[in-house]
């Protein structure tokens, strides 16, 4: 089995290769229907099928806080929210862009993976746990599901807006 070691912890090697979305997409396709965005997809082959890709690498003027249009049916985002400067403002903006009854689907790295913590990985500005996101969504009175932490040290959030 291929592994990587960081701070005396052993992790599956695939965590260091990108494409975390591959673990969430099989679930996301059940929730993300209609017109929507995949924010921060990284590479075309990693994008949620049929989603409109939003990524700073496209150099088209759109990013996590500047989407082409509002009133989409869903927003899907995998391993992106930890990279933005202000995750609360970003989540509130994303939710405001989704039609009533639409879906916010997040796949987030969990703090349990030591390398993903911002003081080890400077590309990450935040670290998350299911409880942090649960608290945010409860305070905003949304209906949601949050998975447990998977083998990718990540968790899924499905929120009805």
How do residues 38-58 score in pLDDT, each as one tens digit?
A: 999 999 999 999 999 999 989
Average pLDDT, rounded, for the chain: 97
Instruction: Inform me whether the pLDDT recorded for 155 exceeds 90.
Output: yes
pLDDT beyond 90 at 94: yes
Neighbouring C-beta atoms of residue 161, cutoff 10 Å:
20
**Numbers of helices and strands, H then E, in the chain:** 3, 8
**Beta-carbon count within 10 A of 126 CB:** 19
Q: What is the pLDDT of residue 70?
A: 85
Q: Name the band, by pLDDT with cuts 50, 70 and 90, for residue 80.
A: very high
pTM attached to this predicted model: 0.96
């Amino acid at each position: 089995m291929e592994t990587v070691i960081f701070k005396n912890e052993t992790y599956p090697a695939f965590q260091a290769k990108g494409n975390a979305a591959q673990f969430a997409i099989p679930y996301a396709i059940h929730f993300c229907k209609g017109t929507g965005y995949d924010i921060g997809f990284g590479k075309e082959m990693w994008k949620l099928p049929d989603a409109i890709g939003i990524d700073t690498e496209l150099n088209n003027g759109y990013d996590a806080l500047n989407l082409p249009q509002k009133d989409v049916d869903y927003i899907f985002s995998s391993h992106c929210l930890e990279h933005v400067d202000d995750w609360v403002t970003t989540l509130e903006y994303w939710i405001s862009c989704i039609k009533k009854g639409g879906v916010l689907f997040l796949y987030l790295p969990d703090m349990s993976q030591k390398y993903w913590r911002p003081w080890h990985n400077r590309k990450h500005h935040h670290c998350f746990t299911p409880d942090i996101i649960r608290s945010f969504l409860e305070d905003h009175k949304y209906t949601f599901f949050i998975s447990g932490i998977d083998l990718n040290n990540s968790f899924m959030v499905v929120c009805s807006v």
